[in-house]
Structure 1
Amino acid sequence: MLNCQRDLFTLTRETAYLDAAYMSPIPIAAIAAGEAGVKVKAEPWKMTIASYYDEVEQARQLAASMVGAHEDDIAIVAATSYGMAVAAANVPVPAGSAIVLMENEHTSHRYVWYDLADRNGAHVDIVPQPADGDWTGAIVSAIRNSARPIAVVAGTLVHWFEGMAIDLEAVAVAARAAGAALVVDGTQWVGAVPFDVTRVRPDFLVFATYKFLLGPYRLAFLYADPRWHGEGRTLEHHSWNRLGGDKSDFYKVPVAKFLPGARRFDMGERSDFAVLPIAIAAMKLIQGWSVERVFERLRYLNDFIWAQATSRGLEVARPRLPTPHISILDIGDRLAPNAAVDLKQANVHVTLRGAKMRVSPHVYNDEEDIDRLFQNLSLR
């Protein structure tokens, strides 16, 4: 199993940071890469046209490796919401059709579909949280039994708030059988959970870098199935996603053709000299460890979380189908009102929402961090 990688981060022993699902720290190597990137802009006369392309393609290749894709399938975008806007601009949603969403889906994967449904005279059909915890069965049943034609299934591998796993392959099969597009949010698991787009074959998959990819804020990657490469609509028009943008006379071509593959969806100013190097350095580390070994360690740490809860008499039921890399403990009325303040004062960091505590370790965590969490958790 992969060992704790704390030494590769600035985390001190006194800090128990267990909140990667909120925002992960970047590794020391990524800090250095970002500092070097900032300095590029300090001396723009040293830049060449390669400065606008080389790191872009390196980042594209690394992002593709995280999900089993080809580099031509990946676009560089600003955020999950940006990628979802690209998807919404492309998938057909006729009047009277339905867009299927899980209850309490993340806003970046929810608001855009309400907007599209309103504009097209379509409907958003919500799949309520199933009492038995089987989101997969509930979503598949909603697709198969819909009274309306299904246009889009907005899917994911893990419910971001409930910590329950979804069999995305089964959802994909049902979506295809219904003739629906499958659009997936991978922000809460890409980099932490092995995934192969060739098995699921979503139309679009978007994943930001600032969580389990250990990367910067304001950067995401968009996977687009090859069917969208030839005629997909982009949100922005600029020279960097067009052929010949690297030529000195790029402006002489009235409307240049798009670059091949998903590059047509690249955002403007994609060659962010400060942000991209951070993502590249972080993804290089993950690639070196392998997503499989990262997943193995995170599964071990999350099993340890539940074991500690049980051994300390904190009787919380583990979800029937939990996601292996995030633990959400519903503590109920046993959680003291001052619990969040007490944890922060003890330099222990998790997410508390109501009676639910979300614990999301990463490779920089170990058993001592989890011990400190339960030692400082205020209960009634």
Structure 2
Amino acid sequence: MEDLRNLFPVTKTHTYLNTASAGLVSTKLVQWRSEHDKKLLQQGSIFRDTHRAILDGVCDQVCNFFSASKHEVALVPNFSFGFNTLLEGIPEGKKVLLLSHDYPSINWAFEHRDFNVCYAEVDENLEQNIEVAVARHKPDIFAFSIVQYLNGIKIDFNFLKQLKAYHPDLLLVADGTQYLGTEPFNFTESAIDVLGGSCYKWMLSGYGNGVFMVKEAVQHSIHPSTIGFNSANGIFSARESIPFMKRFEPGHQDTLTYGSLGQSIRFLEEFGADKISEKLQLLCGKAKEAFIEKGILDLASARRENFSTIFNITGDENLFQKLKNENIICSQRGKGLRVGFHIYNTEEDLHKLLCVL
């Protein structure tokens, strides 16, 4: 584990519990990015001419990592870009179920358009609240974060399968930004129809890259109007035969940022998705127990069996500043302080946090 922490220098000077805000980039990734830009510097368009092969390779990596088909995947600069592209292809007037106080980039995108919006509350009874709201409002779409950014409440995937079984026409649209990279995920076998995510957090890929996945079974009902020369792979005659997912890729794509995603996927695969999940479940389980024992974990999270890598603990501005003074990095969110644990964190980090608390 010490070797792993050597790849993330911030962990040597700080107790970094802020991946939910900004994931760390490794020394390996920075070295690769430097070599990439050196090639661009020395070769110019000669190097850029290889961009299609590089991007295709990254797309293959995304497909393998998340068990998705290539015609269901697009590389996007961030979740919000992909999400708004998606919504421009959905007829207004549809009834949409959202979660109260979910990430603004989800809720605002619907609320800003002419959709019929209803809500379910996020608390310890999240799944029951959703089930009641679906029965009452009969929405066409349910859009949600897999992991809530404020308190880390994670939706039950088995519940989603049951929900889809009882409501097969309900379009399930998920934001995986606070989830992807924390455990194995199989898009094909999941109940989710559309999944997007920015990859600068738990995927450790730096800024400017994300993924969007749309199952082929629902692509016929969504008609994005976004278009550009890259959508047609630079072929003039292909304008009227653009593949669905290329609507999410209208312009020039950066081999540096998407290549960074590819490098991060390679790193996570070397570590092992199962091992990542096992490590985080063990560490976060101990964190949850300690926070409950101290009486500082928000009740909704404390009362749920499953948990994510994010917690919201009781704390004000004074405690936030105290933690900063002790080089413990976290974020103020909602009524408390948000902390999160990733593969570069250890029980020593948890112990230091608990000592200061």
TM-score (norm. length: structure 1): 0.84
Give the aligned partner of residue 90 of structure 1: 89
Give the aligned partner of residue 340 of structure 1: 320
Give the aligned partner of residue 341 of structure 2: 361
Give the aligned partner of residue 307 of structure 2: 324
Q: Matched residues in 2 for 1:163 and 1:128: separation?
A: 14
**Number of equivalences:** 354
Give the aligned partner of residue 106 of structure 2: 109
Letter in 1 for 2:205: G
Give the aligned partner of residue 295 of structure 1: 277
Residues 32 and 16 of structure 1, relative CA distance in 2, 3 Å threshold: same
Q: Matched residues in 2 for 1:145 and 1:342: separation?
A: 46
Q: Matched residues in 2 for 1:52 and 1:327: separation?
A: 36
Give the aligned partner of residue 220 of structure 1: 210
Give the aligned partner of residue 127 of structure 1: 120
1:376 aligned onto 2:356? yes
Report the 3-state secondary structure (helix = DSSP H, G, I; strand = E; otherwise coil) of the residue aligned with 1:53. Answer: helix
Residues 217 and 306 of structure 1, relative CA distance in 2, 3 Å threshold: same
Residues 325 and 150 of structure 1, relative CA distance in 2, 3 Å threshold: closer
Q: Matched residues in 1 for 2:71 and 2:61: separation?
A: 12
Structure 1, unpaired ranges of 5+: none
State the superposition RMSD in angstroms. 2.6
Give 1:77 shift.
Answer: 0.9
Report the 3-state secondary structure (helix = DSSP H, G, I; strand = E; otherwise coil) of the residue aligned with 1:283. Answer: helix
Q: Matched residues in 1 for 2:321 and 2:272: separation?
A: 36
Q: Matched residues in 2 for 1:255 and 1:329: separation?
A: 48
Report the 3-state secondary structure (helix = DSSP H, G, I; strand = E; otherwise coil) of the residue aligned with 2:239. Answer: coil
Report the 3-state secondary structure (helix = DSSP H, G, I; strand = E; otherwise coil) of the residue aligned with 1:263. Answer: helix
Give the aligned partner of residue 197 of structure 2: 207
Letter in 2 for 1:258: I
The alignment-based identity, stated in percent, is 19
Give the aligned partner of residue 257 of structure 1: 241
More helix as a share of residues:
2
Give 1:184 shift.
Answer: 0.8
1:197 aligned onto 2:181? no
Give 1:139 shift.
Answer: 0.7
Letter in 1 for 2:75: I
Question: Does the aligned pair in 1 maintain the 2:102–2:145 contact within 8 Å?
Answer: no
Q: Matched residues in 2 for 1:53 and 1:235: separation?
A: 23
After superposing the two structures, state which structure 1 stretch, 19-28 or 313-322, moved more: 313-322
Give the aligned partner of residue 78 of structure 1: 77
TM-score (norm. length: structure 2): 0.89
Q: What is the aligned counterpart of 2:252 among 269, 274, 285?
A: 269
Question: Does the aligned pair in 2 maintain the 1:305–1:327 contact within 8 Å?
Answer: no
Q: Matched residues in 1 for 2:338 and 2:139: separation?
A: 33
Give the aligned partner of residue 68 of structure 1: 67
After superposing the two structures, state which structure 1 stretch, 181-190 or 301-310, moved more: 301-310
Give the aligned partner of residue 131 of structure 2: 140
Residues 264 and 231 of structure 1, relative CA distance in 2, 3 Å threshold: farther
1:15 aligned onto 2:45? no
Report the 3-state secondary structure (helix = DSSP H, G, I; strand = E; otherwise coil) of the residue aligned with 1:162. Answer: coil
Hey, which bits of structure 1, 4+ residues long, moved more than 6 A?
none
Q: Matched residues in 1 for 2:44 and 2:151: separation?
A: 50
Residues 225-260 of structure 1: CA deviation (Å, up to 9, x unaligned): 1135568534532232215x2xxxx45x3736325x
